[in-house]
Homo-oligomer: A and B are copies of this chain.
Amino acid sequence: MPASHQDQPVFRALADPTRRAIIAMLSDGPRPIADIAAEFDMTRPAIAKHLAILKEGGVISVEAQGRERINRLNPQALKTAADWLNTFDRFWDDRLAALKSLVETS
């Protein structure tokens, strides 16, 4: 899987430590903004901006539920980035690479 121009929003989303922490947090289940913001030493608008960038990257989807907006992780976007990185896994993991190609061609 070659480097694609389309990957940019995902990698941008991953570039900030706060956003990676949000990703990890949402992997335990969806949450509203205020709930997320409570975990950080940062104002809610700042978190809202991070969520907007995560959404642009397709990393989360947002669903309105009454007056709350539920943020849900969309792992497929992470797979995009993982796929690109795993292109290089021949450099560090020959055993796994061999197995993977076996599985994928079966």
Q: Which residues of A contact B (CB under 8 A)?
A: 2-3, 5, 7-8, 11-12, 14-15, 17, 20-21, 23-24, 27, 73, 75-76, 78-79, 81-82, 84-86, 88-89, 91-93, 95-96, 99-100, 103
User: Which residues in B have their C-beta under 8 angstroms from that of A82?
Assistant: 82, 85-86, 88-89
Q: Closest residue of chain B to A102, judged by CB?
A: B99
Q: Closest residue of chain B to A78, judged by CB?
A: B88
Within 8 Å by CB of A103, from B24, B27, B78, B95, lies B95
Q: What distance in Å separates the Cβ of A28 from its nearest Cβ neighbour in chain B?
A: 11
List 28 interface pairs A-B (beta carbons < 8 Å), by A numbering.
A2-B24, A3-B17, A3-B20, A3-B21, A5-B17, A7-B17, A7-B20, A8-B17, A11-B14, A11-B17, A11-B20, A12-B15, A14-B14, A23-B88, A27-B91, A75-B88, A75-B92, A78-B88, A78-B91, A78-B92, A79-B89, A79-B92, A79-B93, A81-B85, A82-B88, A86-B86, A95-B103, A96-B100
